[in-house]
Amino acid sequence: MNARAPIPLVVVGGYLGAGKTTLLNRLLADAQGCRIAVLVNDFGAVNIDAALVRARSDDVIELENGCICCSIGGRLAEALVAIAARAQRPELLVIEASGVSEPQRIAQVGLLDPAFRLNAVLVAVDVTSVHDSLRDPLVGDMVRRQIAGASVVALTKADLAGAAAVARAAATAAGLAPHATVLTARRGELPLPVFLDAGALPAPGSAARLDGSGWQRGAAAGGHAGIRSFAYQTHRGFDKARLRHALASAPVRLLRAKGLVRFDGDPRLHEVHLVAGRMRLRPAQGAGLRDPALVFIGAFDAAAEARLRACIEAALA
């Protein structure tokens, strides 16, 4: 199984009633032919969320009466093993965590299991109630941890609150999750690049391909203003410690970074993955991988892209 391409994994979390199922149903409605498997962990004996999601997808795995915030085991592990072993794997696995679980714990699967690749930890935040939840002595700490572990914070129910309330919620989320990209999900809509890759890595030297297909350099990806991507390509090797530092201290808010690089003194290509401050560097396993490139996806403008390029270039050996 390890020789097969990993399955992109997105964990969707957020406190009870924050709008997780609405976000998920909108993704399924706009899947553009992508095969999406959904693992729903509702809290209670009857999995209502799974029933709501099944209306839009035939590939729903239910974990009833479960709080998978404490350990990654039991039925969750069994479900993941079964998905990884399928002859026809899904092109995206979305785990909808229960409203009282910590999605970042589930996301560790994307770092520890080579059958999966973590694409995002998405946490829904209800603009109308988040500050009340944070002040609640019973659940405040849990809500705070949920937000702090996000790579993407989706502000929901913005249509029920004024601009000032949305701005306040965005500031609170940014303070709790400094690595996260904060987006407003209007009617549950988020840009597709939050969940999955819209294009492959560009071929070296093919500027027209980079600008003309897949990710559009300097433009909003997925139809959402502010989401951009660019590819950094070089055949030079990086200093491993300096690249780790550059990625960990990137001067822009990134949804994620990914790609293939070479390190000074090591002829092998290495995979690079960065999501929500979590980083993984390991030797590339796939056959036929030859061309190094790094792709950065996030909410940044041209000036921020230039700062990020300079930061990455400073890590070259």
Q: For residue 255, is it within any domain?
A: yes
Q: Please choose, from the candidates 37, 40, 47, the residue with its C-alpha nearest in 3D space to the C-alpha of residue 9.
A: 37
Query: pLDDT tens for residues 124-135?
Result: 999 999 999 999
Separation between Cα atoms, residue 231 and residue 296, nearest integer Å: 6
CA 222 and chain centroid, separation? 15
pTM confidence score: 0.69
pLDDT tens-digit map of 243-297 = 999 998 887 777 778 888 999 988 888 888 887 667 888 887 755 556 788 888 7
CA distance 153 to 158: 13
DSSP 55: T
Q: Please indicate, yes or no, whether residues 107 and 253 belong to a single structural domain of this protein.
A: no
Residue where a domain stops, chosen among 133, 166, 193: 193
Cα–Cα distance between 113 and 108 in angstroms, integer?
8
226 confidence band (pLDDT: 50, 70, 90):
low
Q: Are residues 184 and 83 in the same domain?
A: yes
Q: Which CATH number goes with the domain that contains 273?
A: 3.30.1220.10
167 and 284 share one domain: no
- Pair 153, 94 in one domain: yes
* Residue 62, helix vs strand vs coil: strand
Q: Is 19 left (phi over 0), alpha (psi -120 to 50) or beta?
A: left
Beta-strand runs (E) in 185-263: 227-232, 253-263
Judge whether 259 and 293 are in contact, CB under 8 Å.
yes
Domain boundary among 159, 193, 227: 193
What's the domain count of the chain? 2
pLDDT at 171: 95
Domain around 80 = 7-193
Are 215 and 186 within one domain? Answer: no
2, part of any domain: no
pLDDT at 111: 67
